[in-house]
Amino acid sequence: MKMKWKQQAATALAAVLCGAGLHLAVAVPASSSAAVSETLVAEPEGESAETTAQYTFHANVYGPGVANLSSSDSYSRYQWGLKNDAELQYSEITNRFRDSNPKLANYIDLANYFGMPAPVAGPDAYRIKETRARRGVDINILPAWNLYDSSTEEHRHVVVAVIDTGIDISHPDLKNAIWTNEDEIPGDGIDNDGNGYIDDVHGWNFFDGNNELCKGREDDHGTHAAGTIAAARGNGGIAGITDNNYVKIMVLKALGTRYGVGEEKAIIEAIRYAEANGASICNLSFGTTEYYPELEKVMRDSKMLFVVSAGNGNAKGIGEDTDQKPDYPSSFDLDNVISAANLMFDGNLAESSNYGAKSVDIAAPGTYIVSTIADSGYGFMTGTSMSAPMVTGAAAMLYSYRTDLQLSDIRKVLLETARKLPTLNGKLSSNGMLDLYAALNYGRTTETADSAQTEQTAADGQNEEDRQDTEQTAAGGQNVEDRQDAEQTAADDQDAEQDPEAGQGTASAASKTITAGGGEPVSLGW
């Protein structure tokens, strides 16, 4: 039987770290009735606007989203970015109240939408935007995993530097994915390798100037990025993109506070450290509108490949054309930089995502992404900060798998194999979204790709005839938009036959219950 995802009521109301307005994100099945609590983000303890004003760089994320998920769930099954069966519907309710009355200003009118009592408000007081997922809008990872795992050739070991907030290196999904400095003796208080950093066993904290790599929940952002890249597969948690037996995460904390902010100096020092200690690929999920020539020079002179988030638009949360209004380091015109935009699960860019025909390269899933967070937790986040690690993980897997390629080839391969979507035409240099399976097969014969696809179909226990059309088309780098409408219609018809109550808000017997950040129960069922 086809598995289903029915989210009863996941709430995620937050202030955008880059300055956009408040919004409420609700993932629900159509025509459901659900209780939704409004949760406003309070001023972070110990931090003020004056304190954070000194920092230029900001994490490109909408936060905090839904957090503290149950550790008993198999989260990888809910990650639409890895496999999208078109079962997710997303509703965004934006507060448009202009009344100065604080009670009205902090209340969402949901009377007509959820059947809840609410004060009367005019039609301009709020906006409801609904988005339905489209089958096949994912990074095509299942056949890629099969290809990688079934290979008899030795894979290349790859170190990925994550310059971000800190990372929870003891997280059960990450503890085996963390890079280790073999030349350093843990805890002896001595700079054993003579690199100027004492006890830098797994990286360094450039924000605070010490080796404390995780300070709790202020480091959710970096932990989330690391999980997307290399969280363990098959252990009951989430599934990262890469095989962490071969891909390791170097932890470089350059952002701090609960705002996820930092300075140029710390970022430059982190880049130099990463290269000096063997990192090949570097994830930068942050940005600024200010141009820093020294940062550009350091990145230009580096031999690493940088994957950078494109940014989350202006103060109103509306994405901007960075060809006209640059966002750095995404807008640096460098051959070793890939800029990633936020792709929604319907094949469109998120409203908040920056874009640019010259300055932004590729789209990857970045909305409502589940991954690891600090204190051994799991949570959802949204933003181009989530898109960049998707591309980083793909780049690391490609570089590990294709030992015949040079690091300088990876950017070209990812962009040339991007799956073309009409919705992305003229907005990105590739006009497409990340397709990992197509990237792994770059330059190879059709027969090789067909063979791997057939093996994956059998492994999944699904009907080969049903899967071939979707996955093989994507593998060939062809346009998938032409077939999406027909597939979606067929999927909807099939859903109605298999589950007459689909869309009525009733979870299946196999549903799991998780707790959202605001304390509301969320049912994830198949």
> What CA–CA distances, in Å, run from 58 to 137, 269, 285?
28, 17, 9
**Residue 93 bridge partners (DSSP):** 24, 128
Is 155 marked active-site?
no
d(CA 38, CA 421): 36
> What CA–CA distances, in Å, run from 304 to 223, 301, 308, 316, 377?
21, 9, 12, 34, 30
Is 385 marked active-site?
yes
The number of beta carbons lying within 10 Å of the beta carbon of residue 94 is 16
Q: Which of 164, 327, 346, 361 is catalytic?
A: 164
Q: Which of 23, 171, 202, 221 is catalytic?
A: 221
The number of beta carbons lying within 10 Å of the beta carbon of residue 503 is 18
Would you state the structure tokens that stand for residue 350, as one six-digit string?
């998120």
At 86, is the secondary structure helix, strand, or coil? coil
Side chain identity, residue 365 = P
Residue 330: exposed, middle, or buried by beta-carbon count in 10 A (0-12, 13-18, 19+)? buried
Q: Which of 385, 387, 400, 511 is catalytic?
A: 385
Which residues fall within 8 angstroms of residue 352, CB to CB, at 6 or more apart?
16, 20, 62, 312, 313, 317, 318, 319, 342, 383
Which positions are annotated as active-site residues? 164, 221, 385
